[in-house]
Structure 1
């Protein structure tokens, strides 16, 4: 089995032991390396309050450890407590001025404060003192990425990965920077080189698989993940990515098998259970789907995707009242999802809760003003309720937000015609025809009776290419 994953399991055991001792107010004793691992685990998972708690416990036991004082300063910086972080690191600098971690920490503080040029200078200074440390190049990458300089960021992430291929966060950030700067395809050889140099490295194949996955070269991604798993059958992350690749290929049964292998035996994660639920949902096996979503919720009651998933199943089974309960829970947990608000709105309307439906559509447009369906569906309710002028005002808003979306112009035109406001309707229609002539069929889909309007037909004919 891959050494990396054994280490990871050991670290998780140490973290759990630490949390038990804290929970029971027991005295906490660990050796220095264990404390470093605990702090590192929390910072990697952006749990900065817990990381700081671990720092305090560690410093109480090892008050003269500069490593721990540096850790504490870095955690304070990540929490946004820059003054305390700077004071702490300046104290360390007086004790140990040549320590490269002093420069690294100053760099982290500068990055967090948005002082990117300064941050880069500190990290380069640290890299001169310790040229073989992957974390320094990783931090350089982060500073450049935060500065929106994606090419430079990619350069340093690569340097970091050449020293330590197993930094998965560096892989993710590198892929992101290459994607944003549209250079992923031309940089595939970077990932391929690792598999050429060491064909038995599971991590190298896994990283190559992720690059193919991002490029939507799914067959190649499957091949790469398969190799990773062949080398290390317990490589849970590779199983999870292979499963996601199968989902992209709509091979849901294969995906389910891989999601079942994406965690330790007998220790399913809420994410894996939720993903399996979604695969069964795609296969329209409602009972199995619901069972897995429910298991995900039992493990993690805040798993919004699982609540939403059960809502979708209830909807498919025309149990709209029950669906509403689950959709409401999903939006309560994650109000930034336009998909959740739209589903809730549709279900509320389905059972005749017009006011609640309108409120949910309003939330949807606040969450994602560029989602045309939210505006269209909201306006349909107003129109069906006979509130033509409100429907018109709403579509005018929508057109202002998305002036190039032809479908919104056609719908506005239809409502103006229905309200007898012909001059405005024809003006709007002209805009729509210029934007996308072919979509004029939508007008007759909304209102078939308009086909008989001669003036309308003449106007449309003028714009025929």
Structure 2
């Protein structure tokens, strides 16, 4: 049975859900159905949204807006052909409906044809009386295309329309940051703050921009204004703490991190930063306490295990250090810096086989730092594999062809391997670079038995005369 208007529940959602539980039929305005469907779509309740569309179209079969919502659901469910067919029908009825263009753009976007999506959204602007949503969609399409300049312009339009649209504000700043235009971001945020002086989000973002360009005094001021605007803004306290750390004001930094813990439940990241501050203050016991709190709070935070590793490594407790670096590697075994630390610890423990393996992992994962090649070669040499050490240094020279540490160490190892022909060639290569022989001591001091030999002296003297 149909209910009279004075029997209807007050809220459309409540009324609709009541209807679904009974055999009664309630009548709604088309706009009510639109609100109902939007509500369910926004909450991810697709099946209820579909019911709303179905019943809505039964009561209002000519509603273009409900049919457009049907298109939205079809696109969501990847029923693209049905969606496009329905859009074709709707465009014949209302060719100036912006939502038709938006839904077609959505289809192109799902198909990774972002250029076509942008073109359709720009057409939608011509028919729109409220372009805010379209500019937001345009901004996202430009982000997909890595066109950060155009994305920035689109999101700026959104902020112009609604200065409280913090999502778009964040996106504007994200674009500035990606373009590494920190000065531009600072100018933009200062202009924004002229009309929104108590916006904690803008002050927070401004502080971060100043931090990027190492204007720490200005960054601190910005974070303090963010806190004045909202004294429970955890992000501002945390960022202020990081700046104070960079300024060496570790006790003040700890106070700010502790404030974040007092406002909300403690986080592993806050514990980690407090631990690092105590480590800088040489308070090892307190640092240790907070590092252990870090991994207790989040056992999967590999940086926490690395912090404990470094603490024990620095106090030369290598047995504990190797235990904890393995914890970090169990979480992120693809991190070359963890493998490098592992190699350094095994080297200190004189576990040269394990150190060799760890250095190999370090390089295989993309760490080509100079000291990686030098230390790896030393480990392999100590392990009795001088020829392998020479090969490692040769690989390093591909990245650092003019590095004298690599060249002189190569000469020494080639001499030890009795490869005197290549040793002479490498020594001459080194002396061509080291014209004043300021770095020759790297060879002579490390390998005195060869550095002072007759044949090396002849080569050195030859280059002395040449220079």
Match of 2:361 in 1: 363
| Length, aligned pairs only | 399
CA–CA distance in 2 between the matches of 1:262 and 1:36? 35
Match of 1:223 in 2: 221
1:260 matched to 2:290? The reply is no
Match of 1:234 in 2: 232
CA–CA distance in 2 between the matches of 1:272 and 1:459? 61
Query: With CA pairs under 8 Å and 6+ residues apart, which has the higher RCO, 1 or 2?
Result: 1
TM-score by length of 2: 0.74
1:411-462 CA deviation, whole Å, 9 max, x = no partner?
3233223334343234334544566766555445644666535235336646
Q: Give the CA deviation at 1:92.
A: 7.6
CA–CA distance in 1 between the matches of 2:377 and 2:102? 58
Match of 2:288 in 1: 290
CA–CA distance in 2 between the matches of 1:229 and 1:264? 15
1:245 matched to 2:243? The reply is yes
CA–CA distance in 2 between the matches of 1:335 and 1:189? 42
1:219-278 CA deviation, whole Å, 9 max, x = no partner?
221121111112211111112222222233333222222222335625012222222222
Match of 1:166 in 2: 166
SS state at 1:262 partner: helix
Match of 1:61 in 2: 48
Match of 2:131 in 1: 131
CA–CA distance in 2 between the matches of 1:312 and 1:72? 54
Q: Give the CA deviation at 1:126.
A: 5.0
Match of 1:372 in 2: 370
Counterparts of 1:23-422 in structure 2, within 5 Å, are: 55=44, 58-63=45-50, 64=52, 70=72, 84=78, 86=80, 90=84, 93=87, 98=97, 99=99, 101-103=102-104, 105-106=106-107, 108-110=109-111, 113=112, 115-125=113-123, 127-128=125-126, 129=128, 130-133=130-133, 135-145=136-146, 149-162=147-160, 163=162, 166-167=166-167, 169-171=170-172, 173-179=174-180, 183-186=181-184, 188-262=186-260, 265-403=263-401, 405-422=403-420
1:45-82 CA deviation, whole Å, 9 max, x = no partner?
xxxxxxxxxx3xx11333246769848956x8xxxxxx
Taking a change above 3 Å as real, the CA distance of residues 158 and 372 of structure 1, as seen in their structure-2 partners, is farther
CA–CA distance in 2 between the matches of 1:61 and 1:245? 49
**Conserved 8 A contact 2:295-2:301:** yes
TM-score by length of 1: 0.74
**Conserved 8 A contact 2:445-2:451:** no
Taking a change above 3 Å as real, the CA distance of residues 313 and 132 of structure 1, as seen in their structure-2 partners, is same
Taking a change above 3 Å as real, the CA distance of residues 436 and 334 of structure 1, as seen in their structure-2 partners, is farther
Flag structure 2 segments of 5+ consecutive residues without an equivalent: 1-35, 54-67, 92-96
Larger Rg: 2
**Conserved 8 A contact 2:38-2:49:** no
SS state at 1:261 partner: helix
CA–CA distance in 2 between the matches of 1:433 and 1:119? 61
**Conserved 8 A contact 1:153-1:177:** no
**Conserved 8 A contact 1:104-1:136:** no
Q: Give the CA deviation at 1:120.
A: 3.2
Taking a change above 3 Å as real, the CA distance of residues 212 and 159 of structure 1, as seen in their structure-2 partners, is farther
SS state at 1:209 partner: helix
**Conserved 8 A contact 1:324-1:344:** yes
CA–CA distance in 2 between the matches of 1:385 and 1:296? 37
CA–CA distance in 1 between the matches of 2:430 and 2:209? 41
Q: Give the CA deviation at 1:279.
A: 2.2
**Conserved 8 A contact 2:71-2:87:** no
